[in-house]
Amino acid sequence: MKTMTMKMPKLVKPKGSTWVNAQRYLCDFYIQKAPICGGHLVFAVVGRKWVKIAKGDMLNKGQRYKHSRFKISVKEWHGCNPRKVGVR
């Protein structure tokens, strides 16, 4: 009998010119404006006034599925206790 192997989808950086400079952060989202709540690992592009946030894109068998994307102000972003991931 053949065993069936299942591949887990990968979570990758979103495509597009906006997300080229995105960095990985661990944040605690406890604000009403955000569509997600609790501690999440996200990609973020921090600008002068706004922060664009994405959970990432799920890559499965060559197909890309988008997760939550939203933007909040820089003041709200600092209230979410952002911590860079992978920085030494």
Cβ neighbors of 42 (< 8 A, separation 6 or more) are 24, 25, 26, 27, 53, 54, 55, 56
pLDDT digits (tens, 9 = 90+) for 20-67: 999 999 999 999 988 999 999 999 999 999 999 999 999 988 899 998
Cβ neighbors of 84 (< 8 A, separation 6 or more) are 23, 24, 25
Q: pLDDT band for 70, please (50, 70, 90 cuts).
A: very high
The Cα–Cα gap between 56 and 12 comes to 6
Q: pLDDT band for 88, please (50, 70, 90 cuts).
A: low
Q: Which SS3 state, helix, strand or coil, does residue 13 take?
A: coil
For the chain, which residues make up each domain, given as ranges? Answer: 8-54
Q: What's the one-letter identity of residue 40?
A: H
Per-residue pLDDT at 1 exceeds 80: no
Per-residue pLDDT at 9 exceeds 90: no
Q: What is the pLDDT of residue 87?
A: 64
Residue with tokens 């009403």: 32
